[in-house]
Amino acid sequence: MQRLLFFSFIILLLAACSGSPESNESSETATVQRPPNIIFIMADDLGYGDLGSYGQEMIQTPNLDSMAAQGMRFTNFYAGNTVCAPSRSVLMTGKHMGRTRVRGNASGQMKQSLVDESVTVADVLKKADYQNALIGKWGLGEIDQPGMPLNQGFDYFFGYLNQVHAHNHFPEFLWRNRDSVMLDNEVQPVPRAYSQSFVGGYATKKVEYSQDLFAEEALDFIEQLQDQPFFLYLALTVPHANNEAGNEGQEVPDYGIYADKDWPEPQKGTAAMITRMDADVGDIIDALQQYGMDENTVIFFTSDNGPHREGGNDPQFFDSNGPLQGIKRDLTEGGIRVPFIVRWPGHTPAGTTSDHIGYFGDMMATFADLADVAAPDSIQSISIVPTITGNPEQQQEHDYLYWEFYEQGSRQAVRSGKWKAIREPMFTGEIQLYNLEEDIDESENVADQNPEVVEEMRQMMEEAHEPSPLWSVDS
């Protein structure tokens, strides 16, 4: 009821603001002239090799494979980081890991919150009168912090604020705007070893699956917002494991088509989560076609970092990182290079593949470009609109991309063209150098043979890192 009332309020507000028509333009012409709707769908811990269009042979993803066939598949696209909160901070702010505010997971501490001065992609789209909805997992501010989504440009929010809460796919409650919505699940809380303030848990009574609720909420939002441009950030929580559920962490209502497979139970769960998500993406595309919104909606699909080894999951079973080395929490390619698909009928050439080197931070400039508004200053963001509209000759390139990671003793990485450098620990370790054109799995360190390149990469690392009082190697 709350949801329907909220969406009804939006419709009334739009009607009040629209006024009387001042021209004889047809509705079809008006639709063409307005900026496109933007849907950004992000999986959680989905590997580069987990989709059929990226080489997966065991997990069925027909809708996402069709989305790739109807649009553009990127092969050199990167997440903001190798774990969730900082990756999302890069996405929201258009600043890489050396500059963005949230540079790690910090269990609800203020340093894991955006602040009043933060400018998000939602803030920028508001300048073009977009209605902005976040459905799913946030991770950048609690209910009483300035980073809470409604303080950061979003008009509507439904989901999890805290990433530990988001571990549980059958939670006791979810947030709708500033109110908690109780669900029919019953949960056994499990305190985190490093925090008594934020506890995870697992359901002892499983009735309402959060992924299904997010999909329903997204479809409702799309149905109600047909007359004004919108931004839907659908931040899903699959196939992330429930870390508090042990080897039963791949939570899903049923194993579906994998129930009779001779596979370990966690692998059945992982595959079922991914295929269930794939069906939800298909439903969203069907809805856009049903409402005549298909050609005026650009859809992005990706993952927040590489595949995980949690809750009993074995990323090698499905070859989830494909040809890449490493998984979540690594700065090798498997931890940060992610699937990235763009579909925009009539604008994005169908069945194409791009090797453009981009990352989450580019969404700030890209969304601003799509909405025809100015992006903020002092960001590390380049619009990829030329690429996704079939004009790669007009595409600007990054001098380099940069990452930092403060766990496990710390590490940092930079990519510039074919070269990739990793240094661990940060600032003081020896730099490893890889030629990704010849060595995509980063198996041969060629630093000794290329001292001048190593020095260039060192200088890039020093230039990229801006010290933060909130984040240090020993924090």
Contact 342, 373 (CB under 8 A): no
Residues of the chain scoring pLDDT < 70: 1-32, 193-198, 474-475
Contact 119, 179 (CB under 8 A): no
- 340, β-bridge pairs: 74, 302
Contact 415, 355 (CB under 8 A): no
Task: Return the CATH superfamily for domain 34-397.
Answer: Alkaline Phosphatase, subunit A (3.40.720.10)
Ranges of each domain in the chain:
34-397, 399-475
* DSSP secondary structure letters along 112-148: GS--TT---HHHHHHTTT-EEEEEEE--S--TTSTTS
In whole numbers, what is the pLDDT of the chain averaged over residues?
93
**Centroid of chain to Cα 51:** 16
Say what the pLDDT of residue 58 is.
98
Say what the pLDDT of residue 426 is.
96
Angle, CA 197 vertex, CA 193 and CA 201 arms, to 5°:
65
User: Yes or no: is domain 399-475 CATH 3.40.50.880?
Assistant: no
- 125: which residues sit within 8 A by CB, 6+ positions away? 38, 132, 153, 231, 367, 368, 371, 373
- 69: which residues sit within 8 A by CB, 6+ positions away? 53, 350, 351
Asked, colleague to colleague, whether 34-397 and 399-475 share their fold, the answer is no
Say what the pLDDT of residue 3 is.
56
Say what the pLDDT of residue 199 is.
79
Say what the pLDDT of residue 475 is.
53
- 147: which residues sit within 8 A by CB, 6+ positions away? 112, 113, 114, 115, 118, 140, 141
Q: Is 364 left (phi over 0), alpha (psi -120 to 50) or beta?
A: alpha
Question: What is the value of pTM for the model shown?
Answer: 0.93
